[in-house]
Amino acid sequence: MSKRLSVLSAVLLGFALLAGACSSDSDTTSSSSSDTAAPATTAAESSGGDHLGDGSLGEVTVSAGDAIQIRSLNAISGDVAFLGVPNENGIRMAVEDYGQIHGFDVDLGAGMDDLCSADGGQAAAQIIVADEQVIGVIGTSCSGAATAASPLISEAGMVMISGSNTSPALTSDLAGTAGSAYNAGYYRTAHNDLYQGAAAANFALDVLGVTSAAAIHDGDPYTEGLAQAFADAFEAGGGTITVFTAVNKGDTDMVPVLTEVAASSPEMLFFPIFQPEGDFIVQQASSVAGMSGVTMMAADGLLNTNFLPLPETAGMYFSGPDTRYGTNANESTGESASAVLADYEAEFGEAPAAPFWAHSYDAAVLLMDAIAASSYMDGDDLVIDRAGVREHLNSVSNYAGLIGTMSCDAYGDCGSQKITVIQNIDIADYEASTGNVVYEYAPAASTAVGEIVLDDDFCIGLVTDVGLVDDKSFNQAAWEGAQTGAETLGVPVSYIETQDSKDYADNIALYANAGCDVIVTVGFAMGEATAIAGAEYPGIKFIAVDAFQGEAMDNVAGLIFNEDRAGFLAGALAASMSESGIVGQVLGTNLVPPVQAFGSGFDLGAKHINPDIEILKTYHPGAIEVAFGDPEWGATTSRQAMDNGADVIFAAGGATGNGGLIEIASEAEAGSRVFCIGVDLDQWYSVPEAQPCLITSAEKHIVQGVSDLIVQAAAGEMPTGNVFGTVGLAPYHDFDSQISDEIQATIEEIAAALNDGSMVTGHEFGME
């Protein structure tokens, strides 16, 4: 007997949720490499430098001293302002976090209002296209507004990127046919409702066990498209649609339509509409004979802080975007979802009222990345190629955003496409209800719908190098990624902690012989054993973390990272913060290339800031078996570095490095004169004992890298060879106010330049 698992979904009943203001994305941190250019914050040195575009849509010249013009177009008034205002706020936060493009400010202008209507979208678009300096628009909130705005934006050579449009008509049917309202230059980070409709239908059929359902829409492209997607998927799954009907926008008496529904005797009613019509449906349903036993389900149009508190919504189900963002970070701004959410609540005095604020943040960043990639300096002026903006967006692939990993298909669907169903368990606690995910739907790709079959004994195994899964660093990150991937798929996962390097092959074989489908091996030293196992077990997918693949194999993915970039940023920050002119490094063995890369990157970054900086660098003298498990040595070596004048110390060596961090944190002047920098994870959370000195961590985004590859492996779409994960610095946390704006800006500029290739660290393999 086998368990059927849709490529687009996995049921996770009893899932242990991460609570959040809008709960939902299971892509925890960024993992895959990006084919997109990150922002460059320094001016190009020569006129007509490398940039995307051929000039076919015209160019925009921004004079010295002027700002780059983009616009926000969302429903910021009326009944749907709950949706548009968080979008607008997310966009403005993204512009602030992103900073300048080639030395030019980005100006959003006044927020435009789409009124959640075709008329509103058209009127606003007419105003926008009249300004020939505008490059692109982030919006609209509502699909109906987009159908009228998009043609005008497209014809003007601009682009539109929406954070919350979901109608299939705006992009495609996911089978290669453009939607009826598709226009070139239209993109979205929101999901395509063909996925949401299928998710809602699968939940109804597979979890609730209903076999008959009715659907109501209000004629809007969003509501009608989603209701139809649900109906089609429900019938395809063997269910019966008893009635498919509509109300009109502005209707207040829902008794007639509810009577029609009740007469068809459905087990469930799906009504993906907006307020206030949604209010009237739930409030009047109890007065209609035959509706008392009908399960009520709505969608993201009603998933907000105004609707869920209604008493009649208790126990209802809602489909919507998966907003469990966890430790996801936007690779261009470097900001994590949790940090952006905290800033949002601090700045606006409340949590977002609806789920698409992060989608809008990512949409704004994608637009600014596209502008950076398609522009060049002409003297003191900046020239932006409109065709280049589209060219960049068309090429977005495996981009790490707040919402997860994004790739744009040929019709502008760029979102992570992850859907969840929540149940309203507490009308007085919005966060508790939106965090109560009872079903998740995770497509393995954004352009195809299909099925794979996973046997009941499908499993995932993880084998560590000589280290523990709770090392609060490298191994722990890989294990968290394996757990996240397993939860997404609804399958078991376990681990083996290797005690001796001679056991690598045997431990891998234990999982292979047990019939596990995916095996994760952790650490450079396991590379050879993994390659041998890959050849011996061609039917098993192997994910080798930190193991460079000299020759690609059909079933092995080497998840590797540019540690030198993360080290460079850590070194640059350390040199910027140092008062003594002496900084230190306490490292694991130099027999491991990633550790070498961290170390030399730190040296190069520190000297980039201060060529005269003195660096006290010490590698653990022992073999691999002991170099990462010696916290006493880490503590002693860190103490020696402090005694010799080092006031910022980078500790990178698993438990060895953790010992160093904790020792530095015990120093009386920790956090005032002496600081430390962690590694691999944001060690503010994994090593809280280090918080007194920990200004940041040089992160490798291992969690999401491993998780994404596991999901791709299950879908038969795992890339092979070397797969680059992303790196960066963790947030500064409590030290943000101690790190000057000037230093932070310098670090951001360096990060952007490293990401877009305009700067290289200078590290070469084997240079130490």
Which of the pair, 30 or 259, is modelled with greater confidence?
259
Read off the pLDDT band of 467 (50, 70, 90).
Answer: confident
Asked if residues 679 and 598 have their Cβ atoms less than 8 Å apart, the reply is yes
Read off the pLDDT band of 23 (50, 70, 90).
Answer: very low
Distance, C-alpha 304 to centroid of its chain? 22
Within 490-526, where are the H helices? 504-513
Q: What sign has the CA pseudo-torsion 483, 488, 489, 491?
A: positive
Residue range 144-168: mean pLDDT, rounded: 96
pLDDT tops 90 at residue 667: yes
DSSP E strands, 141-185: 159-162
> Treating both helix axes as pointing N-terminal to C-terminal, what angle do 741-756 and 593-609 enclose, rounded to 10 degrees?
130
Token pair 């907003």 is at which residue? Answer: 323
Gyration radius (Cα) of the chain, Å: 26
638-645 LR contacts (CB < 8 Å, sep 24+): 638/584, 638/586, 638/663, 638/664, 638/676, 639/663, 641/584, 641/586, 641/616, 642/584, 642/667, 642/674, 644/582, 644/584, 644/616, 645/580, 645/582, 645/614
What is the reported pLDDT for 503?
Answer: 86
Within 63-165, where are the H helices? 81-98, 118-129, 143-155
What is the reported pLDDT for 40?
Answer: 34
Read off the pLDDT band of 551 (50, 70, 90).
Answer: confident
Read off the pLDDT band of 550 (50, 70, 90).
Answer: confident
Read off the pLDDT band of 442 (50, 70, 90).
Answer: low
What is the reported pLDDT for 82?
Answer: 83
What is the reported pLDDT for 33?
Answer: 29
Asked if residues 662 and 688 have their Cβ atoms less than 8 Å apart, the reply is no
Of 201, 205, 196, which is closest to residue 215 (Cα–Cα)?
Answer: 201
Same fold, 194-321 and 563-700+732-756: yes
What is the reported pLDDT for 454?
Answer: 45
CA 368 – CA 95 distance, rounded (Å): 8
**pLDDT (tens digit, 9 = 90+) per residue, 388-397?**
999 999 999 9
CA atoms within 13 A on the CB side of 656: 26
pLDDT tops 60 at residue 456: no
Residue range 345-372: mean pLDDT, rounded: 94
Mean pLDDT value across the chain: 88
Residue range 703-722: mean pLDDT, rounded: 90
Asked if residues 62 and 132 have their Cβ atoms less than 8 Å apart, the reply is no
Residue extents of the structural domains in the chain? 194-321, 457-560, 563-700+732-756
DSSP classification of residue 18: P
Preceding amide of 593 cis, omega within 30: no
Q: Look at residue 594 and give its three-state secondary structure.
A: helix
**pLDDT (tens digit, 9 = 90+) per residue, 469-479?**
787 878 888 99
Range with lowest mean pLDDT among 418-422, 450-454, 594-598: 450-454
Preceding amide of 140 cis, omega within 30: yes
pLDDT tops 70 at residue 764: yes
pLDDT tops 60 at residue 66: yes
**Rounded (5°) CA angle 27-30-31:** 100
Of 441, 450, 474, 45, which is closest to residue 236 (Cα–Cα)?
Answer: 450
Phi and psi (nearest 5°) for 501? -60, -25
Distance, C-alpha 713 to centroid of its chain? 19
Asked if residues 69 and 131 have their Cβ atoms less than 8 Å apart, the reply is yes
**pLDDT (tens digit, 9 = 90+) per residue, 222-259?**
899 999 999 999 999 899 999 999 999 899 999 999 99
Which secondary structure element, helix H or strand E, spans residue 366, and what is its range? helix 357-373
pLDDT tops 60 at residue 3: no
Asked if residues 308 and 430 have their Cβ atoms less than 8 Å apart, the reply is yes
Cβ neighbours of 6 (radius 10 Å): 21
pLDDT tops 60 at residue 58: yes
Range with lowest mean pLDDT among 180-194, 261-275, 426-440: 426-440
pLDDT tops 70 at residue 445: no
**pLDDT (tens digit, 9 = 90+) per residue, 520-549?**
999 988 999 999 999 999 999 999 999 999
Tokens representing residue 555 in the block: 């079933």
**What CA–CA distances, in Å, run from 640 to 380, 470, 586, 616?**
50, 27, 10, 10
What is the reported pLDDT for 43?
Answer: 30
End-to-end Cα spacing for the chain: 55
What is the reported pLDDT for 191?
Answer: 92
CA atoms within 13 A on the CB side of 225: 26
Asked if residues 192 and 224 have their Cβ atoms less than 8 Å apart, the reply is no
Fold that domain 194-321 belongs to in CATH: Rossmann fold (3.40.50)
The 3-class secondary structure across 259-314, one letter per residue, is HHHHHCCCCEEECCCCCCHHHHHHHHHCCCCCCCCCEEEECHHHCCCCCCCCHHHC
What is the reported pLDDT for 747?
Answer: 97
Phi and psi (nearest 5°) for 698? -85, 100
pLDDT tops 50 at residue 32: no
**pLDDT (tens digit, 9 = 90+) per residue, 69-125?**
999 999 999 888 888 999 999 999 999 999 999 999 999 999 999 999 999 999 999
What is the reported pLDDT for 443?
Answer: 57
Report the top-level CATH class of 457-560: alpha beta
**pLDDT (tens digit, 9 = 90+) per residue, 569-585?**
999 999 999 999 999 99
Residue range 267-287: mean pLDDT, rounded: 95
Is 3.40.50.1370 the CATH number for 563-700+732-756? no
CA 46 – CA 29 distance, rounded (Å): 37
Cβ neighbours of 384 (radius 10 Å): 27
**What CA–CA distances, in Å, run from 196 to 226, 266, 421?**
7, 21, 9
CA 156 – CA 193 distance, rounded (Å): 27
In the chain, the amino acid numbered 344 is: Y
Residue range 489-507: mean pLDDT, rounded: 86
Burial class (CB in 10 A: 0-12, 13-18, 19+), 638: buried
Which secondary structure element, helix H or strand E, spans residue 329, and what is its range? none
What is the reported pLDDT for 234?
Answer: 94
Residue range 207-214: mean pLDDT, rounded: 90
**pLDDT (tens digit, 9 = 90+) per residue, 192-209?**
999 999 999 988 988 888
What is the reported pLDDT for 105?
Answer: 97
Strand order in the sheet with 419-423: 240-246, 212-217, 268-270, 295-298, 317-321, 419-423, 437-441
**pLDDT (tens digit, 9 = 90+) per residue, 308-337?**
999 999 989 999 998 888 789 999 999 999
pLDDT tops 70 at residue 19: no
pLDDT tops 50 at residue 26: no
CA 601 – CA 572 distance, rounded (Å): 9
Pairing of strands 493-496, 541-545: unpaired
Rounded to the nearest 10 degrees, how much is the dihedral formed by the CA atoms of 731, 736, 739, 740? 120
Of 743, 718, 752, 719, which is closest to residue 579 (Cα–Cα)?
Answer: 743
**What CA–CA distances, in Å, run from 113 to 119, 124, 504, 719?**
11, 7, 60, 42
**pLDDT (tens digit, 9 = 90+) per residue, 558-570?**
999 999 999 999 9
Of 749, 746, 751, which is closest to residue 729 (Cα–Cα)?
Answer: 751
pTM over 0.95: no
